[in-house]
Amino acid sequence: GAGVSQTPSNKVTEKGKYVELRCDPISGHTALYWYRQSLGQGPEFLIYFQGTGAADDSGLPNDRFFAVRPEGSVSTLKIQRTERGDSAVYLCASSLNSGRGLETQYFGPGTRLLVL
Amino acid sequence: AQKVTQAQTEISVVEKEDVTLDCVYETRDTTYYLFWYKQPPSGELVFLIRRNSFDEQNEISGRYSWNFQKSTSSFNFTITASQVVDSAVYFCALGSGNTPLVFGKGTRLSVIA
């Protein structure tokens, strides 16, 4: 079946603007995760959804970052007042159940965000 | 806190050579899982293996093999007879039921024809 999809694949914005990044998980997967990957680094956890609710948002760097998953499927990561330091690849992953770090997570291709 | 260390930043080998990628982890959890992912130039993380903390048997899948040793907190990955298509960044990761997945910084493998 289809894997995790993310749109857009690339996003260029100006400092101070608002952006939305979308993730469509594997059908039937109840858990959804957002990560941020900076150049030369491994992915860093941002937020984890179990169904519609955010079960762990401890990785969000500040209150400019917010994510929703209103119907328990598609998720949107929202960044307000973007800063140049927000430039990174934003990865989305999903897993079948809600085992957090115990389950295999399947990743999407990522959205490359560049803030000018 | 959970931590994963991949000390090798970059490795370069000639095709058909064997190569081992090192992974050392730290955790206080007794139940945890270890993972390896491959990130080719296209950017998408591809799942390779998942191993639980109670299973120390080594695993082989084709040219890939994994050596899990709890005594040294290591989960090393060996590619036998490397090929150009193996060129990628490889990430080791650690997860548990209480914490999110934690990744190492990755090892960039270049296989030269």
Phi first, then psi: give them for residue B70, nearest 5 degrees.
Answer: -65, -30
- Give the closest-approach CA distance of A49 to chain B in angstroms: 11
Q: State whether residue B105 sits within 8 Å of chain A by CB.
A: yes
What is the per-residue pLDDT across B13-71, written as a single tens digit (0 to 9) for each? 999 999 999 999 999 999 999 999 999 998 899 999 999 999 888 889 999 999 999 99
- Answer yes or no: are the C-beta atoms of B74 and B67 closer than 8 Å: yes
The answer for B95, left when phi > 0, alpha when psi is -120 to 50, beta otherwise, is: beta
Cβ contact, residue pair B33, A101, below 8 Å: yes
d(CA A31, CA A98): 5
* pLDDT mean over B74-97: 96
- Answer yes or no: are the C-beta atoms of B102 and B73 closer than 8 Å: no
* pLDDT mean over A34-56: 94
Instruction: Tell me: pLDDT of A98 over 90.
Output: no
Cβ contact, residue pair B50, A91, below 8 Å: no
Stronger pLDDT, A1 or B15, i.e. the higher one:
B15
Instruction: Tell me: pLDDT of A1 over 70.
Output: no
Using alpha carbons, select from B103, B110, B108 the residue that is nearest to residue B89.
Answer: B108
d(CA B76, CA B73): 10
Structure tokens at B38: 């491959």
- Give the closest-approach CA distance of A82 to chain B in angstroms: 23
How high is the mean pLDDT of chain A? 94
Which of B4, B10, B44, B96 is most worth mutating to test chain A (most A CB atoms within 10 A of its CB)?
B44
Using alpha carbons, select from B98, B111, B113 the residue that is nearest to residue B13.
Answer: B111
**Residue B98 binned pLDDT confidence (cut-offs 50, 70, 90):** confident
d(CA B39, CA B24): 19
pLDDT of residue B21: 98
* pLDDT mean over A23-48: 95
What is the per-residue pLDDT across A47-63, written as a single tens digit (0 to 9) for each? 999 989 888 999 999 99
DSSP conformational letter for A31: E
- Answer yes or no: are the C-beta atoms of B6 and B21 closer than 8 Å: yes
List beta partners, residue A14. Answer: none
d(CA B2, CA B102): 7
